[in-house]
Amino acid sequence: MDVLKQLFEQKFGVAASLVQPLQGQLGGSGRTIVRLTGGGHRAIGIEYSVHEENAAFLAFSRHFRSHGLSVPEIYAEDLSRGAYLEEDLGDTTLFQFLGLNRDGEAVAPEAVAMYRKTLAALPRFQIDAGRDIDYSICYPRASFDRQSIHWDLNYFKYYFLRLAGIPFNEQALEDDFNTFSGFLLTAPRDYFLYRDFQSRNVMLLNNEPWFLDYQGGRRGALQYDVASLLFDGKADLPPALRQELLDHYINCLAEHAPVDRAAFMEHYYAYVYVRILQALGAYGFRGFYERKAHFLQSVPYALKNLRWLTSNVTLPIAVPALLEALERMSNSEKLLKLASPGEDLTVRIFSFSFHRQMPPDDSGNGGGFIFDARSLPNPGREDRYKPLTGKDAPVIDYLDQQEAVHQYFAHVLSLVDASVDAYQRRGFKHLMVSFGCTGGQHRSVYMAEHLASHLRARGVNVALRHIELEKIGK
């Protein structure tokens, strides 16, 4: 952590007064990611021990920015110590935005529009920036070739099928893997493959998508990245919307290069399969092997996608052993039960006024955490903020600039995250977290919104209420 503080001071000329872990952005990468704040400046700091991957990310970032793509600016780096600073793109991911703008299968037009913007940007990475990119910096492979594909398929076989206890014929499955990879490699592959183009790696800033986590990029086929986004497990896009967005992507693609739609679709669903299998391998490694239970919460969504594929898509190749293994997965009682602990936990978050109504506890558990936000700077004391709430941009900007607010929130996260982890392990279904301030309009609302965003990024079910805002219809 010292190296990140040093880089921050070298860049901005002031010390970082707050270093806040961003656990929700860690995912399965093993990187340490923090937000550093000081003197009105903010940056994201990353520490990671794999030199080649760090070097690839930094080189790709500079290359993409030279093409006008929306990726973070690199502020400073010390690759000898595995550290670098990048632009802070905020806290809202496309995944979170989708969660806030849907009701079951009904996805709001605002979220659909953001997906369309995201997909419109993808060909600029794949084709425009891909034409003159230096593929020699790719790690661990320069292309999504036979070796890369077999790594992913064996990752699935050994860390998911084996650890989930799904029986399979080793030789027959290996034969299918050879058939499968051979077919995938017949698609045109002279494009930049982003590799992890999914909703948690798209940040929303000023109503525009910005892009992260392309350090695993390499040369490959166009189909892989759009499959990654549209079949992103927990995003759980409805099939009709997936098709609409796929059509939009192909139309955007045609603005950058000639497109043979039939040829594209011939390989598309095979790439959907290989992407889902790769993701299942990651869930199995992190969940079954490393015993990080929250990764297993994504498994039922991947199985749902596989069931849709096996019911609606006929591959142009014969892979009977693989399809048999997938059917056994779909019927596995062990896998069907995986969603229970994490998915049954709902964190109910409230904002309220200490002078008026305390949040109701209708779960029968006694109320949970109550955090007092009255010690924080109060925007309600200034006339320009009085008619606004903690959901309005000027109030958010005001509180974002207060270091005391970031310190307070970091302490809240350390307590709430620990409780969420423990509740999920123990199968508890309810956790209540309440934030109070003087009027229940600014600080408490801001805190409640930020905690809800953080937990949704972790895949936790959240029910959010603002007691005072409900009374005034805001």
Same domain, yes or no: 267 and 306: yes
Domain that holds residue 253: 94-338
| Structure confidence at residue 100 (pLDDT) | 82
State the total domains in the chain. Answer: 3
Residue pLDDT, tens place only, 90-102:
988 999 899 888 8
Tokens of 48: 């990671």
User: With contact defined as beta carbons under 8 Å apart, do 82 and 51 qualify?
Assistant: yes
Residue pLDDT, tens place only, 38-92:
999 999 999 999 999 999 999 999 999 999 999 999 999 999 999 999 999 998 8
Task: Tell whether the model's pLDDT for residue 394 goes beyond 80.
Answer: yes
pTM of this structure: 0.78
Same domain, yes or no: 296 and 356: no
Q: Report which DSSP code applies to 59.
A: H
| Structure confidence at residue 344 (pLDDT) | 67
Instruction: Return mean pLDDT, the chain.
Output: 92
% of the chain residues with pLDDT over 90? 77
| Structure confidence at residue 341 (pLDDT) | 41
| Structure confidence at residue 86 (pLDDT) | 98
Q: Within 13 Å of residue 415, how many CA atoms lie on the same side as its CB?
A: 13
Strand, coil or helix: 142: coil
Domain's final residue, options 311, 338, 365? 338
pLDDT band, residue 364 (cuts 50/70/90): low
What is the CATH classification number for the domain harbouring 103?
A: 3.90.1200.10
Same domain, yes or no: 372 and 400: yes
Same domain, yes or no: 135 and 261: yes
Same domain, yes or no: 131 and 209: yes
Question: Any idea which of 172-186, 193-207, 348-362 has the lowest mean pLDDT?
Answer: 348-362
pLDDT band, residue 25 (cuts 50/70/90): very low
Residue pLDDT, tens place only, 229-280:
999 998 999 999 999 999 999 999 999 999 999 999 999 999 999 999 999 9
The residues that bridge with 435 in the sheet, in sequence order, are: 351, 371
Name which of 5, 36, 31 is nearest 19 in CA terms: 36
Helix axes 146-156, 261-284, angle to 10 degrees: 50
Same domain, yes or no: 171 and 299: yes
Helices (H) and strands (E) counted in the chain, each on its own, are: 18, 15
Name which of 288, 270, 272 is nearest 332 in CA terms: 288
Phi-psi sector, 366: left (phi>0), alpha (psi -120 to 50), beta: left
Q: How many Cβ atoms from other residues are within 10 Å of residue 76's Cβ?
A: 19
Same domain, yes or no: 161 and 64: no
Between 103 and 161, the more confident residue is 161
| Structure confidence at residue 342 (pLDDT) | 43
Same domain, yes or no: 229 and 360: no
Same domain, yes or no: 330 and 413: no
Same domain, yes or no: 306 and 184: yes
Domain's final residue, options 32, 52, 86? 86
The span from the CA of 252 to the CA of 125, in Å, is 12
Domain's final residue, options 338, 363, 397? 338
Name which of 76, 103, 98 is nearest 87 in CA terms: 76
% of the chain residues with pLDDT over 70? 96
Same domain, yes or no: 460 and 334: no
Same domain, yes or no: 135 and 188: yes
- Give CA angle at 206 (40, 446), nearest 5°: 60
What is the CATH classification number for the domain harbouring 57?
A: 3.30.200.20
